Structure 1
């Protein structure tokens, strides 16, 4: 155990701390990686193509893209696609990506979870873990 305050005292002090408001970090949005802003985060490059496939009722083509994202794309691309789909109102598409991703091997699921958390997508990371653990 670390020296210093006794555990009970430290726990009491921790419980008395008011919840902190989000802190705006001094890193410029376009130069740093610690702040995310939907207005400045780049969209997933293939978002318009996916939207067009849904709009023209090419659902099988769209499903193929979602399967690829969830099952084979890099963690970074998958995370970006999930965020872009959510921002564009394609919530079912984002959920489908997470479903396919949950079927990956454990290391790929952990890698994607880490990426989602780093990209401040805590809810998506939680859904991914729930789906993976339930399968």
Structure 2
């Protein structure tokens, strides 16, 4: 196979493009499911380390996961405040609030993360519903044809 002396096109992603996106989604899921505090710290470190020179795909997933993690933390604080306002952890409403939160909010955020991971592994951008930031310019998205 002949070796090409042409430089790669500027709009083509680098060979390792997408790895940061995958790691962002993995750390987002680790933050929600395995090690909540440490997962966020690692995700924030990855964000700060890569956001300035990131390809559009990586930048999109970094922004989405950081935004989703912050919203997950805000929702968790709000749920705890609601429990405290309605009688504390010994109150009768505690289990109703917790089950509702984990069934609707937490499960939805985990589902967004799993779908985002699948998109990152496919080399595509995806915006988290409600909590996601707008996608950056040049972000690859699959066009749906009917």
Tell me the TM-score normalized by structure 2: 0.28
| Greater relative contact order structure (CA < 8 Å, 6+ sep) | 2
Tell me the TM-score normalized by structure 1: 0.30
